[in-house]
Amino acid sequence: MSILALAAPPLLAASPPEAVPTRQHLWLCIHLPDLALQARPWAPGVAGAVIRECAGQRVIHAVNEVAARRGVVAGMSLPAAYAVCPSLHIQTRDGRSEARRRRAVARESLAFTDWVSLDRPDAVLLEVGASLRLFGGLDALRSRVDQMLARLGLEARIALAPVPLAAWMLARSGQAICVLQPAALRSALGELPLSALPVSLHGLQRLSPLGVRTLRDLWRLPRDGLARRYGRALVRLLEEALGETPSLEGRYRQPIRFCRRIDLSLETDRLEVLTPILEALMEAMGRFLTERAAATSRIRLRLFHRRAAISTLMLQLSQPIQDWRHGLHLLRGKLERAPLSAPVLALELACADLHPHRPAATDLFDGHAARQLDWSQLLDELRNRLGEDALRILALADDHRPERTSGIRTDTRADSHPPAAPRPAWLLHAPAPATATHWRLVSSAERIESGWWDPPAVKRDYYQALDRDGRLLWVFRDGRQGRWYVQGIFA
Amino acid sequence: MNPLEQLLADCPTLFRGGQTAAPAGAFLPTGHAELDALLPGGGWPLGSLIEIQTPAPGLAEIRLLLPALLRLQRESRHVVWTDPPFPPYAPGLVQAGLDLARALWIAPATPADLWWCAEKLLRHPACGAVMIWPARCAETVLRRLQLAVEAGGGLGIVFLRQVAATSPAAVRLQLEYRDEHLWVAVRRARGSWKQGRIRLGRADVPAQT
């Protein structure tokens, strides 16, 4: 137990600063040019294009082979594209699906190296310099990467270079080459057009009539002049491409997430069948959390049916838990109360919201802390059944108007002070109009006049009054209308 | 030893009227000396239900219970208002000395939810007192609550407008207002024959702590 508690939580630990490279890095860039197309379903043989919004206009983002043969190119405006190809099928870009595919590549790439970066658009970068020997050389590694991409069903262009930006620019330009030495970068990149740079430099296009079409031409220009004309950023980019200024690639880390599904051999709506399966899933989740010294505050149970839509049960907890039995207890309660819409085919349990587990400090002499932990678990259970609004924790608020002095909060402390004059233990939901003959005033007046800056403003004279039932009421006379109201009861 | 004493010594099941055995269990002083004198054990019996009949909601419930609630909170136990007739007012409670961090107000939507959460709370050892204001109350429900509170060791306080003839509550009280004063009548206290009425204080003076 103590080892688990002391071990550094693996998920939230900040990534340590990358060490200064002592050996040669080699970056393998997998550029996925057709990601936008592949993220969308297409009927075979149609001219298809993916469009994106660009400055309020719809622009062609990517085109498939058929459309490209008809003359549609990326960057065209939509009317222009329809003009050249009236039968064009368009779909809007699905950024989420693209990101999912890129993440899938990154996940698989973790088999080759621990440094995978998703920093560059439409690409996945792998630092393979450290893994070459393990995989038996460059060619063997390349073929493995090709196998992986084939397995994922993705078309990709691959280039290798000692600098990530150079590898990305080469792959994006379709130069499937491998540059091993930084000294060779200048000649490898030199022939690339200016559009290979990851910037939209409208001014740069003006350079082409002057004969500046490739990066080599750009390098020939004096750098300080370039910086003055097009900004330091361009010069820095050129330096970065050659590896003269270091760039730090982000590291893709697989999010820690638990998700497990059990398919039933026979669909059922009987809880006595489902409960043991749920228990097995929860136990697996508990093991998963314990192994990672993690705790979760959100658990999702999904029930799959043959015809009906998936039913989802969300369990939200006030404190992250590691103990699966508590979660099981709550989920079972939820399941028992929510009638099943249809027989269940499969159950899926997932928790994504992971936190480092902080075990409650156990005190040898006092069970107080443990009792408080139990208490919050009980509140979870109540909230779970009664609803979020049913549990109200009282708090003081800084306002002189009585109806605003009491608040309901969901977290813990408030540091306001109550007023010095006596206040009742109960406050009616709203002041109730009353006739002054129903009571006898037993205190002097307390004037409350406040809130003129934030309507409704109040101007009231408050009294204590004894009614016929013997209750001590808190009443006031409205300073504007002169009417009497009951607002609270001392008890 | 005469035969009667012999018999009483031999048969512990024989009940002796007028003389009460020292009650078992823990007790919490009520904070009202006269009331303590009337209750066996000298206070509220912990782990029991207390039934209080009030003619009108808001008549001195908090005044009667406040000393016990404060004592429970000092033992870091929680105090729960379950479906109260009016919203509890935080400034008033703080003036009375209550700790809002250990006060909870629950507003269940249905009577079934009310009894369910009351039972859950009473069963919990960190829960010191659960005050319940039910619209109606069946004896079977009270029996369930009694079992729960025995497990939790706190106080279950049920406020009723009308009381049934029988009840599993260990203490049954009645609040009254008469002659400008608030009165508490002990109708029944388990383990004692004593009945009586004590004065809580003048009705027109707010409770002092």
DSSP assignment string, A171-212: HHTT---B--SGGGHHHHHHTSBGGGSSS--HHHHTTGGGT-
C-alpha B176 chain-centroid distance: 16
What are the b/e assignments for A400-410, b being 16+ CB within 10 Å? Answer: ebbbebbbeee
Range list of β-strands (E), A19-75: 27-31, 48-54, 57-63
Alpha helices in A21-132 (DSSP H): 35-38, 65-70, 78-84, 95-109
In a domain, A268, yes or no: yes
Q: By the CB < 8 Å criterion, does A368 face chain B? A: yes
Six-digit token string for B191 = 């383990």
- Residue at which a domain ends, from A57, A77, A93: A93
Which pLDDT score is estimated for B16?
Answer: 62
DSSP B88: B
Rounded to whole angstroms, how far apart are CA atoms B31 and B35? 8
Widest CA span in chain B = 64
Residue A420: which domain range?
402-490
Q: Is residue B50 within 8 Å of residue B177, measured between CB atoms?
A: no
Q: By the CB < 8 Å criterion, does B55 face chain A? A: yes
- Give the bridge partners for A350, in sequence order: A259, A300
C-alpha A82 chain-centroid distance: 38
Our CA dihedral for A205, A208, A213, A216, rounded to 10 degrees, sits at: -100
DSSP element (H, E) containing A116 = strand A116-117
Rounded to whole angstroms, how far apart are CA atoms A28 and A150? 17
Residue among A86, A424, A222 at smallest CA distance from B86: A424
Query: CATH number, domain at A74?
Result: 3.40.1170.60
- Give the bridge partners for A451, in sequence order: none
Domain count, chain A: 4
Per-chain mean pLDDT for chain B: 85
Residue among B72, B68, B104 at smallest CA distance from B88: B104
Give whichever of A23-37, B5-19, B194-208 has the largest mean pLDDT: A23-37
DSSP A124: E
Q: Where are the domains of chain B?
A: 25-175+192-202
Q: Nearest-CA distance from B175 to chain A in Å?
A: 11
- pLDDT 10s digit of each residue in chain A, 491 long? 333 333 333 433 334 444 444 467 899 999 988 888 877 777 778 888 888 887 778 888 888 888 888 888 888 888 888 888 888 888 888 888 888 888 889 988 888 888 899 888 889 999 998 888 888 888 999 999 999 999 888 888 999 999 999 999 999 888 888 888 888 888 888 888 888 887 765 666 677 777 788 888 888 888 888 888 877 888 888 888 888 888 778 888 877 788 889 998 888 888 888 889 999 999 999 888 888 888 888 889 999 998 888 888 888 887 777 888 888 888 888 888 877 888 899 999 998 778 888 766 555 555 555 566 678 888 888 888 888 788 888 877 766 677 666 655 543 344 567 777 888 888 888 888 888 777 888 888 888 887 777 777 788 889 998 888 888 899 998 887 888 999 988 87
Picking from B78, B86, B113, the nearest residue to A386 by CB comes out as B113
Query: CATH number, domain at A266?
Result: 3.30.1490.100
| φ and ψ at residue A247, rounded to 5 degrees | -120, 145
Q: Is residue B180 within 8 Å of residue B200, measured between CB atoms?
A: no
* Tokens 């979020």 found at: A388
Pair A72, A104 in one domain: no
Pair A342, A472 in one domain: no
Which pLDDT score is estimated for B202?
Answer: 80
- Superfamily of chain region B25-175+192-202: P-loop containing nucleotide triphosphate hydrolases (3.40.50.300)
Q: For the purposes of burial, counting CB atoms within 10 Å of the CB of A60, is it exposed (0-12), middle (13-18) or buried (19 or more)?
A: buried
In a domain, A393, yes or no: no
On chain B, the residues whose CB falls within 8 A of the CB of A487 are none
Which pLDDT score is estimated for A86?
Answer: 87
Which pLDDT score is estimated for B24?
Answer: 64
- The 3-state DSSP class for residue A151 equals helix
**Cβ separation B125–A374 shorter than 8 A:** yes
Name the residue in chain A with its Cα closest to that of B78: A375
Which pLDDT score is estimated for A481?
Answer: 81
Residue among B196, B198, B195, B170 at smallest CA distance from B184: B198
Which pLDDT score is estimated for B115?
Answer: 92
Which pLDDT score is estimated for B189?
Answer: 86
pLDDT confidence bin for B69, thresholds 50/70/90: very high
Name the residue in chain A with its Cα closest to that of B125: A371
Rounded to whole angstroms, how far apart are CA atoms A36 and A94? 7
Q: pLDDT by residue (tens digit) across A405-430?
A: 665 554 334 456 777 788 888 888 88
Picking from A374, A379, A469, the nearest residue to B177 by CB comes out as A469
* Tokens 């368009």 found at: A90
In a domain, A343, yes or no: yes
In a domain, A373, yes or no: no
One DSSP character per residue, A403-439 reads: HHHEEEESSS-------SS---SEEEEEEEEE-GGGE
Six-digit token string for B67 = 């000393």
Q: Nearest-CA distance from A394 to chain B in Å?
A: 6
Q: By the CB < 8 Å criterion, does A441 face chain B? A: no
Which pLDDT score is estimated for A9?
Answer: 38
The residue type of A458 is: V
In a domain, A146, yes or no: yes
Our CA dihedral for A405, A410, A414, A420, rounded to 10 degrees, sits at: 30
In a domain, A237, yes or no: yes
Cβ under 8 Å to B: A residues 447-466: 464, 466
Cis peptide before A418 (omega within 30 of 0): no
Our CA dihedral for B29, B32, B35, B39, rounded to 10 degrees, sits at: 0
B161 compared with A453, residue with greater pLDDT: B161
A-B Cβ pairs (cutoff 8 Å, strict): 157
Pair A175, A221 in one domain: yes
Q: Is residue A101 within 8 Å of residue A107, measured between CB atoms?
A: no
Q: Nearest-CA distance from B22 to chain A in Å?
A: 30
Q: What percent of chain B has pLDDT over 70?
A: 91
Residues in Cβ contact with A321 at an 8 Å cutoff, skipping those fewer than 6 apart: A295, A296, A297, A327, A377
